[in-house]
């Protein structure tokens, strides 16, 4: 990212530091899948494997700290937003940095855990190169990422207002796997799931993205600015409703990699 883009992304997540945990519903679903994979890996080994040094990449307010501590003797959280890290002061060691330029020495990490974070990388190729660099030999990465096709309901609603993109462009799982392989990783496991967050109103569904800090849309075209009341009512009216409420759906990819 450019310095301005990094600053803007960090600003959005910092604003959401106090509301993130309450609204990170899909993130928690994704984390459960990652932890199931960790448990599966350990069952294959026959004993609970401890990773001496673990990096929780894009840790936010350390949502997964307590669960991850069961797998490591030295936890390190990393996030672009200082406010996210500071929201759980004294909980753990942490570093504030851009994931594409990790402020870590080479070959120092045994396991990288990353949940719902790498979609914010401006250069996935560079990101996977960085992950490969900081991992020890035989080190592992287990991660989830938002994929193309996510937030379709939000896109549908905005089509009633303008023809611009109001959702970021994400990669496919195949593309992420290729980036990882190019960096030198062996792809051990992949999985793709549709995860859904559900609300009782279109307004809450639209606002949910901002509540988790994911409202920094980098679109190549100029989008609609502040909406008037009539346009805003039209936006809400065109938000698609399922039989159970107003969905915010995410296509989520899961990867386990080995150096």
CATH of the domain at 140: 3.40.50.150
Q: Residue 107, Cβ neighbours under 10 Å: how many? A: 13
Instruction: Average the pLDDT over 57-68 and give the result.
Output: 92
Domain limits for position 47: 3-148+169-197+253-258
The Cα 53–Cα 161 span in angstroms is: 49
Q: Where is 10: in which H helix or E strand?
A: helix 3-15
Position 214 in a domain: no
Nearest to 113 by CA among 80, 77, 138, 61: 77
- Identify whether the C-beta of residue 12 lies closer than 8 Å to the C-beta of residue 216: yes
Task: Look at residue 241 and tell me if it is in a domain.
Answer: no
Q: Looking at the 3D structure of the chain, how many domains does it have?
A: 1
Q: Is residue 161 part of a domain?
A: no
What is the average pLDDT across 28-43? 89
On whether the CB atoms of residues 80 and 10 are closer than 8 A, the answer is: yes
**At how many degrees (to 10) do helices 229-237 and 202-211 cross?**
100
Q: Do 27 and 116 contact (CB within 8 A), yes or no?
A: yes
* Pairwise CA distance, residues 25 & 227, whole Å: 28
pLDDT in tens, 88-141: 655 568 999 999 999 999 999 999 999 999 999 999 999 999 999 999 999 999
Residue 233 falls inside a structural domain? no
Does residue 221 lie within any of the structural domains? Answer: no
Q: Which residue has the higher pLDDT, 259 or 23?
A: 259
Asked if 56 and 31 touch (Cβ cutoff 8 Å), the reply is no
Residue 183 lies in a domain: yes
Strand order in the sheet with 93-96: 93-96, 75-79, 54-57, 109-114, 135-146, 246-258, 186-199
Would you place residue 1 in the very low, low, confident or very high pLDDT band (cuts 50, 70, 90)?
very low
Lowest mean pLDDT among 60-69, 160-169, 225-234: 225-234
Is the separation of the CB atoms in 240 and 157 below 8 Å?
yes
Contact criterion met (CB below 8 Å) for 232 and 199 = no
Measured from the Cβ of residue 221, the count of other Cβ atoms closer than 10 Å reads 8
């Amino acid at each position: 990212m450019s310095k301005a883009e990094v600053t803007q992304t960090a600003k959005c997540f910092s604003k959401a530091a106090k509301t993130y945990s309450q609204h990170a519903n899909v993130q928690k679903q994704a984390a459960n899948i990652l932890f199931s994979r960790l448990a599966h890996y350990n069952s294959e080994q026959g004993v609970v494997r401890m990773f001496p040094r673990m990096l929780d990449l894009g840790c936010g307010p350390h949502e997964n700290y307590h669960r991850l501590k069961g797998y490591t003797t030295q936890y390190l959280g990393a996030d672009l937003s200082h406010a996210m890290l500071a929201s759980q002061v004294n909980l753990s060691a942490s570093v504030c940095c851009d994931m594409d330029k990790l402020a870590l020495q080479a070959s120092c990490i045994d396991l990288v855990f990353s949940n719902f974070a790498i979609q914010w990388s401006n250069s996935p190729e560079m990101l996977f190169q960085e992950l490969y660099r900081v991992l020890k030999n035989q080190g592992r990465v287990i991660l989830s990422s938002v994929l193309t096709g996510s937030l379709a309901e939000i896109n549908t609603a905005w089509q009633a207002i303008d023809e611009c993109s109001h959702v970021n462009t994400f990669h496919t799982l195949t593309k992420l796997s290729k980036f990882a392989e190019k960096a030198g990783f062996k792809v051990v496991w992949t999985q793709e799931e549709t995860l859904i967050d559900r609300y009782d109103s279109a307004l809450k569904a639209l606002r949910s993205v901002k509540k988790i800090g994911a409202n920094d849309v980098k679109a190549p075209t100029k989008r609609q600015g502040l909406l008037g009341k009539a346009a805003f009512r039209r936006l809400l009216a065109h938000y698609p409703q399922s039989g159970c409420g107003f969905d915010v759906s995410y296509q989520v990819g899961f990867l386990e990699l080995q150096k």
